[in-house]
Amino acid sequence: MFDEDCVVSGMRPTGPLHLGHYHGALKNWMKLQHEYPCFFFVADIHALTTHYEDPKDIEKNSWNMVIEWLAVGINPSNACLFIQSMVPEHAELSTLLSMCTPLSWLERVPTYKDQQEKLHERDLSTYGFLGYPLMQAADVLLYKTTKVPVGEDQVPHIEFAREVARRFNYLYGRDEDYEKKAESAIEKLGKKGATLYRSLLKRYQEQGDKEALATGQAYVSEQNNLSMSDRERLMGYLEGIGKVILPEPEALLTPDSKLPGLDGQKMSKSYNNCIYLRDSEAVVEEKILKMQTDPNRKRRSDVGDPDKCPVWGLHAVYSSEESKDWVQKGCRTAGIGCVDCKRNVIATINADLDPIRDRIAELSENESMVRGLVLQGCERAREVARETMNEVKLAMRLPVL
Ligand code: TRP
Ligand code: SF4
């Protein structure tokens, strides 16, 4: 459907969003929504892969997640927002792709063993958990996504999706008269062109000569008098693949959030060091007042070093240059106390969160509007998804009506 780039990303609804999500993924999504057609979805089926034994919060978390996205500024008229399980084509494509996905590919995705070890209190020896990366591949291939904004940890999953797409195209991208059609496209290059193309084809296919491939690709892309589909066919034929039905997606690495957690480590629910978007002013204040500071600054009269203090990490993201100077000087000369320093950043964070909290409260009162938006998002997503499913079924020789 889209000839241009398009972006898809999802988040698992396993809990409320925190400032790490906000300064990492969400700010990046807000930028992307102005640059590409975007699909952002709540990955609720993915949440079940780890939470199948205690799914009770998934529904609430899913709606809350949509509300939080809207509250921070994801704009549903720019980006299509939906919930994965409401677009059944995700499950459908995942099933069809599973037919041609080697088990060994799934077993060697690094997150498989890592997560099983990390979440050892859960029994993750399920078919669904093993299939996690395949479902993620289906999520992105369904929209013929070219760009997938993800964190570093997810890059192997995108690499996996590329392999799945390549294999799919290789297996199902050649129809019966694939060769006949390619030959007739070659004829259209004229005598000289056809001879050139055939010799480059031979050099690449028989000797793996990459230079010949590159020359051939450049040559084909210049043939403006050929139709688009002939050009695509000649490209595919050159590479030894058929028609590209599912394009290979690319990871768009999300810049890491610079905001540390309350203990100075990366902010993460599992470290219990988060400030949540939904935390009240009083909770934000309490959490920050409890933070450890530079361990060498035991008394008010001791000088401190912001580089050894996680509170500085909050200032670094939130404070004005002027306040940062005030902290740097005051801390290093014992001119300010840690409580002064903390109160200053508490005020800034609370001022920033205030309008977000208000919008969360407002949207939470307006359930029917949120549901309506998601319904619209699902419908838009399904239009694209159905089209892809049709192509996939045709290619896999399934009967379609
Ligand atoms: N696996 C991703 C995560 O844990 C969530 C996800 C599911 C996703 N499907 C996706 C991300 C598709 C990008 C694209 O963060
Ligand atoms: Fe940390 Fe601020 Fe105290 Fe310095 S003054 S140790 S930066 S809390």
Convert the pLDDT of each residue in 178-230 to its tens digit: 778 889 999 999 999 999 999 999 998 888 888 999 999 999 999 988 988 88
Q: By alpha-carbon position, which residue is closest to atom 13 of ligand 1?
A: 9
pLDDT at 233: 87
311 CB under 6 A from ligand 2?
Answer: yes
Q: Which of 82, 142, 150 to mutate to test the pocket of ligand 1 (most atoms within 8 A of CB)?
A: 150
Ligand 1 pocket residue status of 136, Cβ below 6 Å: yes
Rounded CA separation 140/41 (Å): 11
Q: State residue 88's pLDDT score.
A: 98
When mean pLDDT is compared across 11-15, 70-74, 178-182, 306-310, the lowest value belongs to: 178-182
Tens-digit pLDDT profile for residues 279-311? 999 999 999 999 999 999 999 999 999 999 999
As a whole number of angstroms, the distance between CA 392 and CA 8 comes to 19
Which helix H or strand E contains 8, and what residues bound it? strand 7-11
Cβ–ligand 1 distance for 46 under 6 Å, the answer: yes
Concatenating the DSSP letter of every residue in 159-210 gives HHHHHHHHHHHHHHS--TTHHHHHHHHHHTTHHHHHHHHHHHHHHHHHH--H
Residue span(s) of the chain under CATH 3.40.50.620 come to 7-172+247-257+366-395
| Three-class SS state of 362 | helix
Q: Is the pLDDT of residue 244 over 90?
A: no
Q: How far is the CA of 249 from the centre of ligand 1 (A)?
A: 13
140 falls in which pLDDT band (50, 70, 90)? very high
User: Is any atom of ligand 1 closer than 6 Å to the C-beta of 140?
Assistant: yes
Residue 2 in this model has a pLDDT that exceeds 60: no
pLDDT over 80 at 240, yes or no: no
Q: Is the beta carbon of 50 within 6 A of some atom in ligand 1?
A: no
Report which secondary-structure segment, H or E, holds 221.
helix 210-221
What is the percentage of the chain residues whose pLDDT exceeds 90? 86
Q: Tell how far the Cα of 339 is from the centroid of ligand 2, in angstroms.
A: 8
154: CA distance to ligand 1 center in Å? Answer: 7
Q: What percentage of the chain carries pLDDT values higher than 70?
A: 99
Least confident among 91-100, 208-217, 332-341: 208-217
pLDDT band at 241 (very low <50, low <70, confident <90, very high): confident
**Comparison of pLDDT for 115 and 74, the residue scoring more:** 74
Predicted local confidence at residue 205, as pLDDT: 81
* For the CA of 13, the nearest ligand: 1
Q: Which CATH number fits domain 279-364: 3.40.50.620, 1.10.3720.10, 1.10.240.10, 3.40.50.1820?
A: 1.10.240.10
Residue 3: its pLDDT value, please?
53
pLDDT by residue (tens digit) across 155-185?
999 999 999 999 999 899 877 677 788 899 9
Tokens of 145: 């996504």
Nearest CA to ligand 2 atom 4: 331
Domain with CATH 1.10.240.10 in the chain: 279-364
Joined together, the tokens standing for residue 108 give: 């060697």
Q: Is a pLDDT exceeding 90 seen at residue 243?
A: no
Q: What is the pLDDT of residue 290?
A: 98
As a whole number of angstroms, the distance between CA 218 and CA 197 comes to: 11
pLDDT at position 106 over 50: yes
Question: Are 60 and 30 spatial neighbours (Cβ–Cβ below 8 Å)?
Answer: no
Alpha carbon distance 198, 213 (integer Å): 11
Q: What is the C-alpha separation between 38 and 29, in angstroms, rounded?
A: 9
pLDDT of residue 162: 96
Give 219's contacts (C-beta < 8 A, 6+ positions apart). Answer: 193, 196, 197, 200
Average pLDDT value for residue range 33-62: 97
Q: Which residue has the higher pLDDT, 204 or 86?
A: 86
Binding site membership of 309 for ligand 2 (Cβ less than 6 Å): yes
Which CATH class for the 7-172+247-257+366-395 domain?
alpha beta
The overall average pLDDT reported for the chain is 94
Section 374-387 average pLDDT: 98
At 1 the pLDDT is: 37
DSSP 52-81: TT-GGGHHHHHHHHHHHHHHHT--TTTEEE
Site to probe by mutation for ligand 1, drawn from 87, 135, 148, 157 as the one with most ligand atoms within 8 Å of Cβ, is 157
